[in-house]
Amino acid sequence: MSDEDLFAARPSPAVVEGPRLLFDGYRRLEGWRARLQAGERGEIVQEREVLRGGPCVAVIPVDLRRGELVLIRQFRLPAHLATGAGDLVEVVAGRVEPGEDLEAAARRELMEETGLSAGRITPLFSFLPTPGIVDEHAMVFLAEVSSENLPSEAGAADERELTRPFAAPIAAAVAALDDPRPRNAYLLIALQWLALNHERLPEILGRAR
């Protein structure tokens, strides 16, 4: 087995039954059953609730001229309930609308959450934030922006969303990885990518459209 195969996800022979609708609100919650064959242990039946998040995008907006990364602050009720600190620092992110192109979704989310238009933009990688309970599948983009005229508040009015954009030096953002306070996965993954690639940003954006 190659190193690439060693770390790759692969299809499963599990037999999946469902869905059974449990709740249909801001997100759809479904009940599912999975049957797994476990050798000498026989069949294992898993009853699971799945929150349907679907395809999402995240954006790492950088201003190369000013050497800045654009982030947002946003209240998250689950974080508030979990830690008492629900005013999170985040990267731009959001759901892809039905039939929407991923890049178009990234540009739209960037405008909604920061008021900025993307110049050059390129996809980087995708990941599953919490595959144990949510089917959310996120594609991360790098986008070139001008951070000079950030609004103090933004957010999609039809979603009752409130975001507070701000710009930080890219070097400070990378250094924040040594700070235990940044807690959300999207932010930490974005900062890790920046730590590995911040010196190559002009080159990477140079290949973008």
Q: How long, in residues, is the chain?
A: 209
Whether residue 35 has pLDDT greater than 70: yes
pLDDT score at 4:
63
What total number of domains does the chain contain? Answer: 2
What residue type is assigned to position 151 of the chain?
P
Are both 105 and 121 inside the same structural domain?
yes
Would the pLDDT of 208 be above 90? no
Q: Is there a single domain that holds both residue 30 and residue 90?
A: no
Indicate left, alpha or beta for 90 from its phi (over 0: left) and psi (-120 to 50: alpha).
Answer: beta
Q: Is 4 a catalytic residue?
A: no
**CATH code (residue 176):** 3.90.79.10
Taking only Cα atoms into account, the Rg of the chain, rounded to an integer number of angstroms, comes to 19
Dihedral angle over CA of 18, 20, 21, 27, nearest 10: -40
Mean pLDDT of 110-114: 97
One domain, residues 46 and 62: no
Verify that 68 and 34 share a domain, yes or no.
Answer: no
119 Cβ contact partners less than 8 Å away, ≥ 6 residues apart: 143, 144, 145, 146
Based on the fold, state whether residues 112 and 186 are members of the same structural domain.
yes
pLDDT (tens digit, 9 = 90+) per residue, 65-81?
999 999 999 999 999 99
Catalytic position from the list 159, 161, 199, 203:
159
Whether the ω angle into residue 19 lies within 30 degrees of 0, i.e. cis, is yes
**pLDDT tier at 2, thresholds 50, 70, 90:** low
Whole-prediction pTM: 0.93
The answer on 59 and 34 residing in a single domain is no
Same domain, 150 and 189: yes
Residue 45's domain spans which residues?
Answer: 3-52
Q: If you average pLDDT over residues 83-92, what whole number do you get?
A: 96
| Model confidence pLDDT, tens digit, residues 131-187 | 999 999 999 999 999 999 899 999 888 778 899 999 999 999 999 999 888 779 999
Residues 113 and 70 in one domain: yes
- The reply to whether 129 and 176 lie within a common domain is yes
47 and 87 share one domain: no
